[in-house]
């Protein structure tokens, strides 16, 4: 039995309402959403997306989406965060990530574990999947992006990290 943790819906906006209110970068915003939904629908444990929310969206840089899905298996959570952007896409459960800031923080932490392993020639098999070879060069490029996310974006959400 999975432990289902409900996310803080007060910290997200419904996708349709977010899109209606968006004035700039509409094509990029839609593209990031399509990337997130395609990423999630790739997995056989997601039979359908019921609800879609935007937690954070910085066009061309990073987006944190929250999805309520129809799980295809009993061991799959119905709430899933998906992080996309100019970096490897990933999903996280809401178990330890109740809001978008904690989801991005969890993403950064998991990716930094991958960076450390890749830089030191260790196996990345049991770490968050990253769709590039685990080389020092790829690790350095990812680390630069993660540092930017941490310092320029996540730093604006300090209160939300105090969960």
In a domain? residue 161 = no
> How confident is the prediction along the chain (163 residues), in pLDDT tens digits per residue?
445 567 889 999 999 999 888 778 899 999 999 999 999 999 999 999 999 999 999 999 999 999 999 999 998 999 999 999 999 999 999 988 999 999 999 999 999 999 999 999 999 999 998 989 999 999 999 999 999 999 999 999 999 998 7
CA pair distance 66, 85, nearest whole angstrom: 15
In a domain? residue 1 = no
In a domain? residue 160 = no
pLDDT of residue 43: 93
Contact 12, 66 (CB under 8 A): yes
pLDDT of residue 24: 82
Residue 83, φ and ψ in degrees, nearest 5:
-110, 125
In a domain? residue 124 = yes
pLDDT of residue 1: 40
In a domain? residue 117 = yes
* Largest CA-CA distance found in the chain, in angstroms, rounded: 46
pLDDT of residue 152: 96
In a domain? residue 118 = yes
Q: Would you say how long the chain is, in residues?
A: 163
In a domain? residue 4 = no
In a domain? residue 15 = yes
pLDDT of residue 142: 96
Domain with 72, as residue range(s), is 9-155
Tokens of 158: 């300090």
Give the residue among 35, 67, 12, 6 at the shortest CA–CA distance from 131: 35
CA pair distance 138, 88, nearest whole angstrom: 11
How many domains, the chain?
A: 1
């Amino acid at each position: 039995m999975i432990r289902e943790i409900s996310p803080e819906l007060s910290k997200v906006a419904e996708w349709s309402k977010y899109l209606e209110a968006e004035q700039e970068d509409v094509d990029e915003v839609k593209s990031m959403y399509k990337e997130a939904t395609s990423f999630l629908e790739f997995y056989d444990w997601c039979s359908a997306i019921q609800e879609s929310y935007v937690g954070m969206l910085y066009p061309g840089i990073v987006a944190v989406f929250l999805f309520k899905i129809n799980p295809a298996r009993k061991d799959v959570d119905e709430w899933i965060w998906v992080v996309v952007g100019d970096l490897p896409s990933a999903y996280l459960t809401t178990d330890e990530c109740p809001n978008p800031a904690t989801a991005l923080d969890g993403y950064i932490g998991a990716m930094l574990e991958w960076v450390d392993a890749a830089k030191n020639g260790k196996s990345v098999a049991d770490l968050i999947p990253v769709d590039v070879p685990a080389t020092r060069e790829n690790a350095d490029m990812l680390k630069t992006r993660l540092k930017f996310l941490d310092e320029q974006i996540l730093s604006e959400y300090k209160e939300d990290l105090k969960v």
